[in-house]
Structure 1
Amino acid sequence: MTLPTSSLMALSLVLVLAGVQAAQAQPASVEARADSLVQAVLLVDGHVDLPHRLNDIYENPAATTVGGDFDYPRARAGGLDAPFMSVYIPTYLQSNPTAAANRADALINLMEKITTEHPDAFSGATSPDEVRRIAETEAVALPLGMENGAGLGGEIDNVKHFYDRGIRYITLTHGMHNRLGDSSYDDAEPRWNGLSPFGENVVAEMNRLGLMVDVSHATDPTAMDAIEQSEAPVIASHSSCRHFTPGWERNVSDELIQEVADTGGVVMITFGSSFLQNEYRDRDAPIRDEMQAHIDSMGWAEDSREAVVYEQETRRAHPIGTVQDVADHIDHAVDLVGAEHVGLGSDFDGVFALPEGLQDASEYPTLVAELLRRNYTEDDIAQILGENILRVWAAVEATAETRQE
């Protein structure tokens, strides 16, 4: 039997509508859920090294940049609302306290220049409330953290100076023992066997003013001393789990994860390949050596566009590790202390090698999708992405208000 044309058209319409309804009834893909989630919740990254990167080779971070892992377009694509900008003090400046403090001021000046010149893209932030307010706009908030307490120049009054300039956490040490305490990266014998007397005074002053105490990079005794001395919650702004890198003190042990959580603090898992498995550090150096040899053979200056482009191409062609590795570290910390004490501290712009799927600030959704596959709830993910560090920051502010009464 042949149906009349009108009947065929009606049947086709019914079938089309049925198909649309069926598609609408299907749950969104994990990737689509992840994309929506990072845009819907606050995403705060504990550590991005943009200031140091731009101090070496300046590019306009409000536009798409050639180098590095972070710029405004990539941050917006990845749902990033508030990356803590690392005011990093290289260890070679530690022997000159004035130069170390001047470097910190110079990097803060650079960040202020960026927010002044590109107010639609970036805004400074000195409180959790400001981060939340800025997140309602199209701008990315840029709170500041000092990486390496050597930037204080050995002067306790500089804690207040840098607080007034916008610093809201201080990573007590970096690559070498300094005046505050001992570094996990330093091969020399411990200088203080924990916090120094000056370091204890710095922690007390940080508590008084409302700066978060950051134990990333510190030795275990230094971190434990800081935790014991601090009256406010403590953070590890960019550290992963030593469980996966036995013997590597730069990552935090299970005991330290628990101790940080016991203060009410948060451990912020980093993305750098070397933090994920010990074997990944051995794969990093040959890639760098071959890349540098090519740059030298071409006669390119280190800060030339050609060298920067080639470095980025090399890094992306040789990812080390996977997004699953990063999720494993998150799982481990969550299993130990709960989702409310875990965050993200990518170390974007501060490491050479990154895992596949987390190559820059546009790719946070890849990690979120992996967490969704592992049956994390959206509430848990919202805590990890930003709510935990904002809660800790607010608690540190509250402690300061009590101290100043």
Structure 2
Amino acid sequence: MADLNDDRPTTTGVAEDQGPDDPFTGEPYAPEDGTLRRAHALLDAHPVADGCSGLPWALRHLPWYDLELGETAVETDVPRLREGRVGALFWSLQLPEGLAGNRTVAATLEQLDLVHSVIDAHPEGLRLARGAGQLIDARQCGRVAVVLGPAGAPALDDSLGILRILHALGLRVLTLAGTAWAGEAGLTRFGEEVVREMNRLGVLADVSGASEATARRAVALSRTPVLCTRSGARALRPHPANLPDDMLAVLGAAGGLCMVPLTAEQAGPTARDVADHLDHVRVVAGPECVGLSGTYDSGSAHPRGLADVSAYPNLIAELLDRGWSDTELSLLTWGNVQRVLRSADFTARTAQHRRDPSTARIAELDGQRPRDPTAGRTGAGGDSGAIRAGGDSGAIRAGGAG
């Protein structure tokens, strides 16, 4: 496996126009050997829980792959996950823009089907995790835990029944954006009922890309911590998906979790820029509110030194050089995600004794007419090709090779 890793290109996914990390030497960032050994030792005890991976969508376009042996066509495979000391991955089920109506539901179900096939085809490296306890079980068995989500709110098609079906299939994170009930004006009555049902099921709310009104209401309403799976600090980089300091403070006060993305667009062109965002979130929201979101295989360029999932030790070494304590780093990599998942599990067990499944409908709470079932459908030249491109043929062939 080491030989395969040595042969893969080192520039894939790195921003093309970025300058060198060190203005004096002109060399890319490379931590001292001693610091890197400390980073490896810390990650052996507290592996990375990566808050967002775009691997499912990337795999559906490959004719063949084997994640166990190594796959250079993507930024994530089992050898590199082990090299990077990654213990858990949140697999994004987000869909490209343009899908609408029941096409979104169908495409999300196909994503879930593909994900289950991929995990089944790679049993020596991956294991599905539906809660905090199963993350620990997977780690103890030497597997990388896969948590399903975030999925986009349009995948519900305004139905709490579909939310429950997606949860039964393994969904654990839902992004509250892109719908009439979670828009610029905030959560509607139906949107609030969605959050309550998510709490009852144990599905975490993600406010990445949500309006400020929606994010604030979700934080106030949810009985479990709220995630922001792809947000840096807007004070350092004015990207619209990054959070302002006042929202970071609100998230931190409520026990939520801001997971800083390792992308050049949101964080900056170097590993040190990512570390600056992590420093800032730690100061503004607290060390219990900061996490990591690789955002690998999402089509984004990554900072120099963080080209794929194997590079996490480089980032941890940089934070060690900045004076982060072992306790703070253990929270960043593993502890904060564990806390949030445990809270969701506990809240769900309690709520299910007190609250029956909600039968509320958007027409009743928000006064909207039922959606036209033909809305968003296209002919053969529309978005059906994107759905056909997935299938699970790649996963089946991968299983045969694995």
SS of 2:93's partner is: strand
Counterpart amino acid of residue 204 in structure 2: M
Q: TM-score, normalised by structure 1?
A: 0.76
Which residue is equivalent to 1:292? none
Please report how far the alpha carbon of residue 217 of structure 1 lies from its aligned counterpart in structure 2 after TM superposition: 1.0
Q: 2:108 touches 2:155 (CA, 8 Å); kept in 1?
A: yes
Which residue is equivalent to 1:33? 38
Please report how far the alpha carbon of residue 40 of structure 1 lies from its aligned counterpart in structure 2 after TM superposition: 2.1
1:37-72 CA distance string (max 9 Å, x none): 222213201100111111222522223112221111
Which residue is equivalent to 1:241? 233
Q: 1:147 touches 1:172 (CA, 8 Å); kept in 2?
A: no
Which residue is equivalent to 2:71? 65
2-structure distance, mates of 1:240, 1:67: 27
2-structure distance, mates of 1:157, 1:89: 20
1-structure distance, mates of 2:188, 2:72: 42
**Structure 2 residue 247 is matched with structure 1 residue 256:** yes
**Which structure: greater helix fraction?**
1
2-structure distance, mates of 1:325, 1:263: 26
Structure 1, unmatched stretches of 5+, are 1-26, 183-189, 278-320
1:216-245 CA distance string (max 9 Å, x none): 111111111211221221111121111112
Q: 1:348 touches 1:360 (CA, 8 Å); kept in 2?
A: yes
Which residue is equivalent to 1:6? none
1-structure distance, mates of 2:121, 2:78: 13
1:286-335 CA distance string (max 9 Å, x none): xxxxxxxxxxxxxxxxxxxxxxxxxxxxxxxxxxx111000000000111
Q: 1:70 touches 1:349 (CA, 8 Å); kept in 2?
A: yes
Q: How does 1:137-156 map to 2 (within 5 A)?
A: 137-156=141-160
Which residue is equivalent to 1:392? 340
2-structure distance, mates of 1:86, 1:253: 24
Please report how far the alpha carbon of residue 138 of structure 1 lies from its aligned counterpart in structure 2 after TM superposition: 2.3
Which residue is equivalent to 1:85? 91
Structure 2, unmatched stretches of 5+, are 1-31, 354-402
1:139-174 CA distance string (max 9 Å, x none): 21111113311111221111111111111111112x
Q: TM-score, normalised by structure 2?
A: 0.77
SS of 1:69's partner is: coil
2-structure distance, mates of 1:213, 1:122: 24
Q: 1:323 touches 1:358 (CA, 8 Å); kept in 2?
A: yes
Which residue is equivalent to 1:349? 297
SS of 2:59's partner is: helix
1-structure distance, mates of 2:50, 2:121: 23
1-structure distance, mates of 2:136, 2:120: 20
If asked which structure has higher relative contact order (CA below 8 Å, sep 6+), I would say 2
**Structure 2 residue 318 is matched with structure 1 residue 381:** no
Residue of 245, 250, 256 corresponding to 1:265 = 256
Deviates more, 1:35-44 or 1:118-127: 35-44
Residue of 37, 42, 46 corresponding to 2:51 = 46
1-structure distance, mates of 2:285, 2:70: 38
Counterpart amino acid of residue 332 in structure 1: H
Q: How does 1:181-220 map to 2 (within 5 A)?
A: 181-182=182-183, 190=184, 193-220=185-212
1:175-210 CA distance string (max 9 Å, x none): xx323323xxxxxxx4xx112333222111101111
1-structure distance, mates of 2:92, 2:51: 9
Residue of 219, 223, 235 corresponding to 1:231 = 223
Which residue is equivalent to 2:135? 131
SS of 1:273's partner is: coil
Please report how far the alpha carbon of residue 270 of structure 1 lies from its aligned counterpart in structure 2 after TM superposition: 0.6
Counterpart amino acid of residue 398 in structure 1: F
Q: 1:64 touches 1:72 (CA, 8 Å); kept in 2?
A: yes
The structure having more radius of gyration, on CA atoms, is: 1
SS of 1:167's partner is: coil
2-structure distance, mates of 1:351, 1:118: 24
SS of 1:64's partner is: coil
1:75-129 CA distance string (max 9 Å, x none): 0100001011111122211x22x21111111111111111212211111110111
**Structure 2 residue 300 is matched with structure 1 residue 340:** no
SS of 2:309's partner is: coil
Counterpart amino acid of residue 197 in structure 2: E
- State, as a whole percentage, how many aligned pairs show the same letter: 31
Residue of 318, 335, 340 corresponding to 1:370 = 318
1-structure distance, mates of 2:164, 2:307: 36
Please report how far the alpha carbon of residue 135 of structure 1 lies from its aligned counterpart in structure 2 after TM superposition: 0.5
2-structure distance, mates of 1:63, 1:238: 29
Alpha carbons of structure 1 residues 199 and 55: separation in structure 2 relative to 1, 3 Å = farther
